[in-house]
Amino acid sequence: MVDTSHARTNIVALLAILALSAAIMVWLFWHFPIITAVATLAILGVLGVCARLARLTDTDMIELQRRKQSV
């Protein structure tokens, strides 16, 4: 019972955060459309670069571990 209410609280908190985030984004886009669009694209670009770098570094670590195991 406690685990179920804790999980439900987490889900409600997540939905509240997502709704607040969406409301703020819509408000910003309504009042400052060009700046918000540019900032959004810049942030998504940075996240994309970070994802690629993370994938590259993860692959390098796996290869290093394979080399150490084969030696």
The pLDDT profile of the chain, 71 residues, written as one tens digit per residue, is 557 888 999 999 999 999 999 999 999 999 999 999 999 999 999 999 999 998 888 766 666 667 767 65
Question: What is the rounded CA–CA span in Å between residue 71 and residue 64?
Answer: 11
- Model pTM above 0.75: no
Q: Summarize the chain as % helix, strand, coil (round to 5).
A: 95, 0, 5
Question: What is the rounded CA–CA span in Å between residue 53 and residue 71?
Answer: 27
Q: Which amino acid is at 48?
A: G
